[in-house]
Every structure is written in structure tokens, then in C-alpha cells.
Structure 1
């Protein structure tokens, strides 16, 4: 799944407040600025378009894209989002690698893109720490790097980081569950986490626990860590169900492993609790809309960040900014908001649900 150990958090209250929008929000570049720093005598033209990237063809930009193997629904959506956004621009050529979970192989793929002298690199590293040196190599070669989600160990290895908010994901899941159970005495919740040796899992659990502190009537009675796979989700959920004969809510960190969790729930014939998913798969959103099972919500970790990364890379390559900010340069770090998708707002988010 995704890893983001250091990302700063924002406190936006809705999807419309996110720094970067989604594919459903339109194809325009979003809230980040990058200009050539030319003042034009301190004035802009009527539309301020001289230094602002837009949909109109401009300077041709070759963007290199390197990510992990698309062996997970979310990662597959990342690759799809990047490719589809690049196709939107007539002035963008995307050089995409096959994707690999092998660090040495991914390093080699990035080095090939560096040798091709692409204008900008977008990198979602399989392991941020392991790929830091190749990020540094690109930056030293004069190729700006947009670091996507899993962060490098050094800020010198990237020009801009953009990714999701793991702590906020857990926090919002906890607050949603808390509000549903706030009037229930001695409410019990369980947690089906991801891979425990990943910082992202620890951040999600911490956010969840911190949120529950606001609801003294709720106690987390059990936690199991799975591996972001269907098989592990089913096995670990079955263990939770055997150990806990009755509880009121379940938070599952990942919608892909949630497929297995739902199988275990159905096999056990349990339905006394509500379930909140994580990441925002289309399958889960459709279940939320249908509203005939335990799934009531999912907390987003938007793969649309990859489309926004292409927007950023294009702006960097053209030396232009993006409308909506006063700053001359794009921010060093951009954190997407982890919105909670429920029956009330699911139609808004369905277009960005991943398969």
C-alpha cells in the first residue's frame, strides 16, 4: 500500500479544500504556483496567463514516471491516473517505467530516465529510503523531482513532495465511528490494520487512537495487522471475529484487504457492527451507496495524487505557475485531505473510486 512517514497535515474540511483536486474535479491545474520569477514590470496580462500553466499547449515537456509494480488496486490506480493525466496534455510526453518492487531494479529504471535527459521526474519509490540516492542524482543532474507519496530520506532528493495523510486517515475514521457511537454505552471497536512494520500503518493507528480519546464511552478491544492483501484480510478478520463475539464498529485500513475481511464476516454470519474502509475503492463506494451491509463509510487516500503530480511536473518543466496562489514557486510539500465517504456524499466521490 502507500507509505508516507513524514508528511505534514492540513486541516481542510472538505474535498473542495484540498490543495489538489481529483480527476472528477476537472482537468485544470490546481493550487500550487511555479513561475519563471519574471516580474513583467510587476504586472500580469488580463488573465494572468503569461506565467500560469493552463490547458493550452505550451513548451513541450518530457516527464519520466517511475513507480512500484501495480500489484494492488491503489497502486494500479496511481499508474492509471498518471498516464491519463499526461494524455490530456498535447505538450507532454510521458516516459513510464514498467514498475518494480525491487529497489535495485527501480533505481536502474530511474537512472535510465535520467540518462534519457527527461525534463522532470515523478517518482513513487517502492522504498523511499532506498531510492533517496537516485533522487539526489536526478536533482544534481538538473532534473527536478516530484516525489509521490512514499517520501525520500532527504529533502534534497526532491523539489516537491505530494501525497496522502496517513495520520489524518486514522483520525477521520476514528471521528466518524465516534460520532456514530457517541450515545452508546460501553461501545466496542476493533481495528484491522495494515503491515505493522510500515510507518504508514503506525500513523493510521495513532490517528485512530487519538480520535477515540474524544469518546470516553468507546473502547478499542482488539487489533489485528494484515498485509494489504485479500488473503490476509480474510484470515485476520476471521481471528478478530472468533475472539470478539460482539462489537459495534470495525475500521479496516485498506479496501483491498477489506475484500477478504468481508468474506470472513459473511462466513461468520455477523452484521451487528458498522464497518469503515480505507483508501476509497469503487467497490466499497458502491457498497456504501447500496447500503445493505455492514460497510457504511471509507476514508480516502486519493490515487488522484498521481494526476496532480503530473500537473506539477508539467508546470515545473514549463517554468510556469498555477493559478490560485500568490507564491512564485510550488510548495515543498502538499498533503491531500482524507475525506470520509458516506451514503450522503458517495455520488460525489464515485468517479474517483479505484478498481
Structure 2
């Protein structure tokens, strides 16, 4: 899958938990992040002045990307004073630039943009800001901080780190434990960050060694094919980390076809199918590390606050933050019921 159809470069600088948007949460284990359809409105849910938010999102060619669009729509519907001007999702940079320029010409109050390509859309972000329309840059970051008022997105390094620490804790008492990694597209910065976080976490567990790594491309078909290769090459290992729950569907098929159940599997992103399997506890899949699409709902909250000249509930500052990096929680059978509402199809 091309880079423009996936989550792009992430260089968030302020590691603020998603919980900070709604509560002053300082715990290392943030509270659950409800799905859009189940989200309570933010603490300041009394209608304020009318705000028109322009939303330019991605083409929904992946479960996570579809969830981004749905979270944005559902969140906006919770506010009677918010009008959402939404474009047709696109992975074509020229088309999306045109869509954003149309929203600028309509003089929307705030823009929320998940760019098909952050670098390519930087100029149109700058154009909006210069026109006095503040921009919430969602997930794939623009090349210049002048192109947005606030960036909000996921933590790819944190995904790998938390996956590695979870696996390390499960295997810490096992001598010469072996793990394998089913990564995403290697030409994406996000894949490199996830793998680096995973490698750094395993350094804390000298008895655990990564013995194999295979890159897939975030599809069911690639997950099945690449996992079959790993299984053939590695006759024995103790744990698998799969970067993406969509390709994890294929990986699980390959595992079942091979009749293997001698290791534990950790997924990534937080798909509903993965959470259902974790809850059922009838496969090797025991956990998934979140990359929450609820960030789109939070982006709408931030845009509303900007349009109404407000800060963020639970924070003392008069202004919204400049950058928010969401926490990558590990979902297991012990907490899956809390996170199931956030699972995406």
C-alpha cells in the first residue's frame, strides 16, 4: 500500500495523554478512550457560539482510516452549535489540496486536516493559517509548525515500546526466549519508529531475543503471506509482535493453517476483531497496542475550542496545547471490556 494511503510521519513533541483532553490525568495508565458513538461530550458541553469546522480526511481504504472519518463525524454531531463541512476522503495530494482550498474559500472557522502527505500539503496548511483559519493537523504531520495551530496524533515509538515491554514481562522468567516481528511497510517512518521502540524495550530483558523480522504492507493478504514465511523459517519461538491488526487477520489465518499455538501474539492499532479475539481467549492473540482513531474526535473537540476561544477541559491554560501525542495502551483480556467501544472495523 503506498505511503499516501497510510499513516505518515509522526514527530509529536509534547507527550500529552489523550486523557488530558477530558481530564487532568497524570497516571501512566490513562483512562479508557471511548469510541465516537459512545463518547460523552467533553466537560464543556454547553453550547457556545456557532462554529463551522472544515474536515479534510483520508480515503477510507483501511479500517483505521475509516474509523478516523467516523469518529470526526460522530463527535461533531454531539455539538448542536458545530457545523461540519466534510470533504470526500482522498489519498491524492492534488485533489486534497483543492478540497482544502475550497474550505478556505468558504471561510470555515477552523480546519481539521489529516493530510494524504504531510509534506505535500504543508503549503495549503500555511495558506489557511495566513488566511486566519487555524488548523488542527491530525496524525500525519506537516513539514512546518507554522502550517498548524495544534498537532494531535499517535505514538509509533510508544507502540513498539509498550508491545516489547508487555512481551518481555510475559517471558521474563523463560530462559533463551525467542520473539519474531511482523512489521508494516519498511519505507514508512512509522514502521521504523515502531520497530525501534520494540527493540529498545527488549533491551530490558536480556533473556529475550528477536530472532526474525518480516515486513508486510498492512493488508490481510500480506499478513497471511509474510506470516506463513515466518512460520516456515522459525520452527519454534515464544512471542510475535504484529504491527497492524488489519494484517493481523491474515497472520492469524496463517497461524491457524499451520496448526501453531506454541507462542503468544500481540497486535497493533486496536481493531474490534482483535479485541473480540482477545476477549474470547481462544487463539494465540493475547493483546493489542492501541493507535487510537479517537484522535479524530479529539481533533473536533480542539477545533471547537479554538473556534470558541476556549482552552481544554482539565487543563489550566487559556489556550489549547500546540502538540498532543496519544498514549499507546496495551489491551489484554483484563481490560478489554474498557476498550472494546473504541475498536474499529
TM-score norm. by structure 2 comes to: 0.93
Residue 21 (structure 1) shift? 6.7
Q: Is the 8 A contact 2:36 2:74 kept in 1?
A: no
Which residue of 1 is the match for residue 82 of structure 2? Answer: 92
The residue matched to 2:173 in structure 1 has which SS? coil
Q: Is the 8 A contact 2:180 2:213 kept in 1?
A: yes
Change (3 A) 1:21 1:14: farther
Q: Is the 8 A contact 1:77 1:303 kept in 2?
A: yes
Tell me whether 1:334 sits opposite 2:339 in the alignment. Answer: no
CA distance in structure 2 between the aligned counterparts of 1:24 and 1:99, rounded to whole angstroms = 20
Q: How does 1:168-247 map to 2 (within 5 A)?
A: 168-247=158-237
Tell me whether 1:135 sits opposite 2:125 in the alignment. Answer: yes
Residue 58 (structure 1) shift? 1.6
Deviations 1:237-274 (A, max 9, x none): 11111111111000000000111111111111111110
Q: How does 1:1-355 map to 2 (within 5 A)?
A: 1-8=6-13, 9=15, 13-16=28-31, 23=36, 26-29=39-42, 54-355=44-345
Residue 324 (structure 1) shift? 1.4
Residue 327 (structure 1) shift? 1.1
CA distance in structure 1 between the aligned counterparts of 2:77 and 2:37, rounded to whole angstroms = 16
Q: Is the 8 A contact 1:21 1:308 kept in 2?
A: no
CA distance in structure 2 between the aligned counterparts of 1:25 and 1:316, rounded to whole angstroms = 23
CA distance in structure 2 between the aligned counterparts of 1:101 and 1:162, rounded to whole angstroms = 20
Q: Is the 8 A contact 2:278 2:336 kept in 1?
A: yes
Deviations 1:108-159 (A, max 9, x none): 1111111111110000011111111110011011100000011001000000
Deviations 1:302-337 (A, max 9, x none): 000000000000110111223211111111000110
Bigger CA radius of gyration: 1
CA distance in structure 1 between the aligned counterparts of 2:36 and 2:93, rounded to whole angstroms = 30
Q: Runs of 5+ in structure 2 lacking a partner?
A: 1-5, 18-26
The residue matched to 1:321 in structure 2 has which SS? coil
CA distance in structure 2 between the aligned counterparts of 1:67 and 1:284, rounded to whole angstroms = 25
The residue matched to 1:349 in structure 2 has which SS? helix
Q: Is the 8 A contact 1:29 1:308 kept in 2?
A: no
CA distance in structure 2 between the aligned counterparts of 1:113 and 1:26, rounded to whole angstroms = 27
Residue 26 (structure 1) shift? 4.1
Q: Point out the more displaced range, 315-324 or 199-208.
A: 315-324
Q: Is the 8 A contact 2:56 2:89 kept in 1?
A: yes
Give every structure 1 segment of 4 or more consecutive aligned residues whose post-TM-superposition deviation is greater than 6 Å. none
CA distance in structure 2 between the aligned counterparts of 1:139 and 1:82, rounded to whole angstroms = 21
Q: Runs of 5+ in structure 1 lacking a partner?
A: 31-53
Q: Is the 8 A contact 2:34 2:342 kept in 1?
A: no
CA distance in structure 2 between the aligned counterparts of 1:5 and 1:148, rounded to whole angstroms = 10
Q: Is the 8 A contact 1:58 1:91 kept in 2?
A: yes
The residue matched to 1:15 in structure 2 has which SS? coil
Residue 15 (structure 1) shift? 2.3
Residue 292 (structure 1) shift? 0.8
TM-score norm. by structure 1 comes to: 0.90
The residue matched to 1:240 in structure 2 has which SS? helix
